Structure 1
């Protein structure tokens, strides 16, 4: 008789710790150039476009590796993968700190892309979902509640470090910090991998784990949502300033998104409603409503950004829990890894696409395009809910 004992879910202390570790993981990779791009370009003479292209290269590498990461999580468990992420991230930051030329700088970002694939939300939440199923939801929400403050904490810290020691030493120090924190603490906070019983192993990785129509619709929804988040973070200040707001006013308006994201996650945690399809509809609907208000009702831009913040705040929860409705736990890690690739590719292409649209048609065209994409995403979500109800949830 094959029995599998489900590992104990992380307690509150470990949830807080995982949230703090995610701040380091995101701050040392995805959000790094938000502060250091200008100093790097100024110090090295490399073009700003090439410097930012490093982040796009990293996201491209992450996209290519995400299915492999899903299979690794299914095979050896998220504990080992997330711990290895700490080593890879430290190596990437170290290489970044000593990069003597642009090709080495881009190579460092390729390494950081591998770190993003093995250690950001996709990898962590896939690990938790594979271990605990729908019971992982409150853990995931708790982690996003803490990690939602990444830019609030990391960007000022990076700015202070850069001012005091320069961008190279900042990357080197950050690399040492992640080396001595992420590797041991991910091993402490995450449970040991529990091998699947033989029957589950046979099912794992099955290409027919999810109906093609549901897989395609869900993947497209996640990719559009990821592209919207990336594009708006790039163009929001530009759009607001083009409409007559000062830089200080535009920054103040943009800062409304963060608190809205955190508050909606607090609400989700308190309500404790296990309804991924409702959350998906709320997320995509609020995102579309918010961008409609930002685009066409300038007097209501504050409410538009708050609505968008709510929708985007629920996005990570939706991405990690919605597949659980239709995918067996034995297939969850593999399917999630495959689904992550298009979203990461969309994020990698977003900066280039936004730059092209702004240069060709102006900032207003970008916000119109994002609004149209948000409405398409809402329509996809409605169709996806219909497909899932027709198939029925997984047993």
Structure 2
């Protein structure tokens, strides 16, 4: 990471923290009061949220292609306006139909403004040197829930959920939009390139399919654990307080792992750190299976550290193998199955927990190990295309 990259890393790290806190992390705290106010089950809220993730997945390749052509400045700036519009609609919603439409708008905003778009923007600016900057913004945005949830909870307690949505919308316009627009460089000749560009030919070959499978598998685990981690630990015998306390260690573990990736692991090809990250969850599951509830904290630390590195690998690994050409478009294609899996995982694992209890960790471990097996089939050499 060079000094010239630092201002952009700080700007994107801030806007990514804001984008995640004001979209992806909202339902965890606002679903119940929203449902109560609208007179519906909270499942409606989570269903609309899952649909927004599906929309985000479908738009991923198109958004990535646009960033390849014109850079991230326009797309990420537009994401702040789109997320703000979705939040305003959400705050004004008085019916299921308007609420659902608001989440659809937020899904478009998430496609334009979360990690894949930011990674593509950095790849467009720095090319093969983007690994350090990708690590830098994930290091900052790793605190999105740490910052976002307390702010959302404060808003919920003092001004209500609708006004909290309006406040997050204002933050996107007043903080996120200026940072993205003024700190990201414009790309010379972008308009002419966009006007004359043809759709890129990115073959869905063996390596692309393996990448898509890897990130779909690990993001299924990530999505499931984000929702059900305390419940799974309680099934192992941990108390509710112990489960919550262990879950609170996931965030710090992610940050420490990203610092490790930025320092020690940066000397190695990202394929090796990604393989390492795929085994930490199964190791943690094995530890908690052997020792039970007393090992809950160890499991949380192992799971969190792996998840922290996998978030970075989603950007750095395809860049290392394929290079910066059509990087955003590739990310969109590779990331689409992962976003679909992330949308389905909470419901699927909820049903599995009802049937299997703590043994559901066998399923999550199998998914992580299958991702490792796929990674072992990929060679570290950079592809000529």
Q: TM-score, normalised by structure 1?
A: 0.90
Matches within 5 A, 1:132-211: 132-195=126-189, 205-208=200-203
Distance in 1, matches of 2:297 and 2:149, equals 23
Aligned to 1:250: 243
1:21 aligns with 2:37: no
Q: Secondary structure at the match of 1:100?
A: coil
Are positions 1:69 and 2:63 aligned together? yes
Aligned to 2:267: 273
How far 1:40 moved relative to its partner? Answer: 1.2
- Looking at structure 2, the residues matched to 72 and 10 of structure 1 have their Cα atoms a distance apart, in angstroms, of 25
Unaligned runs of 5+ in 2: none
Q: 1:305: how far off?
A: 2.1
| Aligned mates of 2:280, 2:361 — CA distance in 1 | 16
Q: In 2 relative to 1, CA 154–164 (structure 1 residues): closer, same or farther, beyond 3 Å?
A: same
Name 1:316's counterpart in structure 2. 311
Q: Report the equivalent of 1:52.
A: 46
CA-to-partner distance for each residue in 1:52-81, whole Å, 9 max, x for gaps? 112101101101111110111112211110
The verdict on how the C-alpha distance between 1:130 and 1:365 changes in structure 2, with shifts beyond 3 A counting, is same
What CA distance in whole angstroms lies between the structure 1 residues aligned with 2:54 and 2:75?
19
2:232 to 239, 243, 248: 239
3-state secondary structure, aligned to 1:92: helix
Q: Which residue of 1 aligns with 2:365?
A: 371
Distance change (3 Å), C-alpha of 1:154 and 1:204: same
Inter-partner Cα distance in structure 2 for 1:74 and 1:96:
31
SS in 2 for 1:351: helix
Provide the aligned C-alpha RMSD in A.
2.2
Report how far residue 363 of structure 1 moved. Answer: 2.7
Contact persistence 1:294–1:305 (CA under 8 A): no
How many angstroms apart in 2 are the aligned matches of 1:162 and 1:214? 46
Gaps of 5+ in 1: 1-7
Q: Greater CA deviation, 63-72 or 130-139? A: 130-139
Distance change (3 Å), C-alpha of 1:295 and 1:57? farther
Q: C-alpha separation between the residues in 2 aligned to 1:329 and 1:11?
A: 17
How many angstroms apart in 2 are the aligned matches of 1:23 and 1:36? 18
- The structural deviation recorded for 1:354 is 1.8
The aligned length equals: 379
**Separation (CA, whole Å) in 1 of partners of 2:16 and 2:261:** 20
Q: Which runs of 4+ in 1 moved over 6 A?
A: 201-204
Cα distance in 1, alignment partners of residues 6 and 120 from structure 2: 19
- TM-superposed CA distance for 1:296, in Å, is 4.4
CA displacement 1:242-287 (0-9 Å, x = unmatched): 2332222111111111111101111222234251111211111223
Match in the other structure for 2:121: 127
Distance 1:295 1:215, change over 3 A: farther
Aligned with 1:95 (options 89, 92, 97): 89
Change (3 A) 1:263 1:76: same
- Secondary structure of the corresponding residue to residue 326 of structure 1: helix
Moved more, 329-338 or 309-318: 329-338
What secondary structure does 2:55 align onto? helix
Instruction: Give 1:336 shift.
Output: 1.2
| Structure 2: distance between partners of 1:288 and 1:23 | 29
Cα deviation for residue 34 of structure 1 reads 1.2
Tell me whether 1:357 sits opposite 2:356 in the alignment: no
Q: Single out whichever of 245-254 and 302-311 deviates more from structure 2.
A: 302-311
Structure 1 residue 393: deviation in Å? 3.8
Q: How does 1:329-368 map to 2 (within 5 A)?
A: 329-359=324-354, 361-368=355-362
* SS at 1:384 equivalent: coil
- Alpha-carbon offset, residue 204 of structure 1: 6.9
For 1:48 and 1:137, locate their aligned partners in 2 and report how far apart those are by CA, in whole Å: 39
